[in-house]
Every structure is written in C-alpha cells, then in structure tokens.
Amino acid sequence: MDPCEGSLYSEEGLGVAALSTLYGGMLLSSMFLPPILIKKLGCKWTIVIAMCCYVTFTLGNFYASWYTLIPTSILLGLGAAPLWSAQGTYLTTMGSTHAEKTGKLGKDVVSQYFGIFFLIYQSAGGFGNLISSLVFGQTPTQGAIPEEQLLSCGASDCLMATASTNSTNRPSQELIYTLLGIYTGSGFLAVLLIALFLEPIKDAQQESEGEKQASPFWSTLLSTAKLFRDKRLCLLVLLPLYSGFQQAFLAGDYTRSYITCALGIQFVGYVMICFAAVNALCSVLYGKLAQYTGRIALFALGAVTHLSCIIALLLWKPHPRQLPLFFVFPGLWGAADAVWQTQNNDQK
C-alpha cells in the first residue's frame, strides 16, 4: 500500500480499514495458501498470480469506496503471503544452488541474495514515492499551516479526528487518477516481465515430493496449526509480527500524523524516499556483514535504533522549521528495518 493511502482516505477511516483488512487477509492466507500454490504452480507462477492481486487493488482505488477497497484489500492480503513465500523460496533455492557450485557457505550466499533483492525492492519504493510527490506536488501552493494545527501533530494527533485541515486536503481527482494510472501501468508491466523472463525453478525437496498426492485442505490447515506447539516457532513469530507493526506505523501513522499534518501530503513521497534509499543500501550492507557479525548483533542494532526513534518521536513536536528531522527519522527507521527484512527472510 502506498504511504499516501492513509492520508488520502483518513477522513472516512477507509484507509485504515483497508490496511487492517489487507493484513487480516494476509494472516489468513499465510496459514495454508503458500504451500498449496507453490506446490501446484511453482514459485514463478505463484509470483505472477500474486502480483495480479496487487494490480487489482490498484484498480480498486480508481473508485475508492467500501465496496471496492475492502474486497480488493482482502484479495491483496490473500496474494501477499504466497508472493513473499514464493520469493523467499526462489531466492533461497537459487542462493543454495549457487553456493554448491562455488563451494561457499549456503547461509552466507543466501543472505547476500536477500540483500540484493531488498536493495532492488526498496529502490522501487523510492521511485514510487518520487512519482507520488511529483504528481501531488502539482497541487496549488497551500498557505502557512496554523500554529494551532501544529500543536496537534506528532504524538498528540488524534487519529479519530475528521476535520479537514490546510495540509490534509485531498489532491484533485485528476491527480489521483494520474498517479493510479502510473502505478497500474507499472504493475501490468511487472507481471508481464515476470511471466516472460523469470526462469522457473524446482528445488530438490519439491522434486522428491512431486509424486506424492496433495494433502487435503483441512489437513494442511491442521498441520500449520500444530506447528505452534513448538515453542521456538511461537517465539520466532514475534519477529515478523513486529516487522509488520513497525512498517505499518511508518507508512500509516508517521506519514499522517507527522509529515502530512505538519508539512502537507506532497512531502510524503520525498520523505519516504529517504527511508527507501537508506533501507536499500543497508540491505546490501547487512547481507555482507551477517557472515562476520552473525544475526544477533544485527538484531540488537535494529532493536536499539527503533527504540531510540520511538522515544524521540513521542517527545518530538514536529514543525516545518525542523525540516531535516522529517528525513532523519525515516532514514534511521530504514536502517533498522533493513535488519528485519534481510535477516527475517533469510531461510537458511
């Protein structure tokens, strides 16, 4: 979801509801859908179908309402879990194969592969945010934000407030359609490129199990539930859970209560570019450092960085005169987020 989503539909509460529905669908699908699709279709076509769910959500934004965004959010959530599972499986398999050929340690090569992947992924986020800022930057110049409004920005913002302010007025519908058209076209192009040029893979485990009869749906669901008997898995779940929470905070609360409230929606993309750029660079860096420092040191770095940012954000009173700080926090947040992205997804 675009960081502007919460700001565009904040008044009706639709943006938050769509985001919540999205993650609910993702939680549901993650329990049974990824292994079924990957086994039936393989990683490549699972990625293609899941990406089509993302394009569908973008199309739903052309006529944003409860009847379009909620169903497409559910569809996106159902496709998100198979997409990330297939991507992780693909990268792990390719990394392990390359490690065997070169005689390197498998986990080190896989970690580097994930670092490169998230470099590209976050770079795409940077370009996407740049596009949104350039499009929304065509909105007529707004006047100075009243000091009374600035007092309610940051941690003091009431997320239930519905009053429209100078900085949160929606851009024109024409600009919104322009942005959605660019995103939709990019989505269709991405699906086409993956379908035509991504090489199908099949790891050794899939080949050995290929002749086995597919397990019934309820058997797969029950097997997933039984995994939670393992205390190690229950503790491991906390990492991706926190990763989702902190990303939702930055994309939803920070962009609305800090950037949009104090600067205006046209600044959201520029500020988030800083997050994406730092995240991309750190993803590559951590992918290489992991083989020397181990994961524990990187996890500690990410935790301390995020905790420091959270405390500072609680105390900070955002003001337009403090423009550099609006970029510093996403930069630090991206440096920490790169830890969760590269190390959580490393399956070796």
The pTM is what?
0.71
Dihedral in degrees, nearest 10, Cα atoms 43, 240, 233, 307:
160
Amino acid at position 268, single letter: V
Contact 114, 346 (CB under 8 A): yes
* Neighbour count for residue 323 (Cβ, 10 Å): 13
Alpha carbon distance 320, 312 (integer Å): 17
* Per-residue confidence (pLDDT) for residue 163, from 0 to 100: 45
Instruction: Name which of 17, 18, 26 is nearest 78 in CA terms.
Output: 26
pLDDT, tens digit, 9 for 90 and up, residues 81-136: 999 999 989 998 988 888 888 888 777 788 888 888 888 887 887 788 788 878 87
pLDDT, tens digit, 9 for 90 and up, residues 316-328? 999 999 999 999 9
Q: Residue 303's pLDDT band (boundaries 50, 70, 90)?
A: very high
pLDDT higher for 292 or 9? 292
**Confidence (pLDDT) at 166:** 45
Q: Which residue intervals of the chain are DSSP H helices?
A: 5-8, 14-30, 33-60, 66-102, 106-136, 147-150, 173-197, 204-209, 217-226, 231-248, 261-262, 268-315, 323-345
CA distance 339 to 283: 7
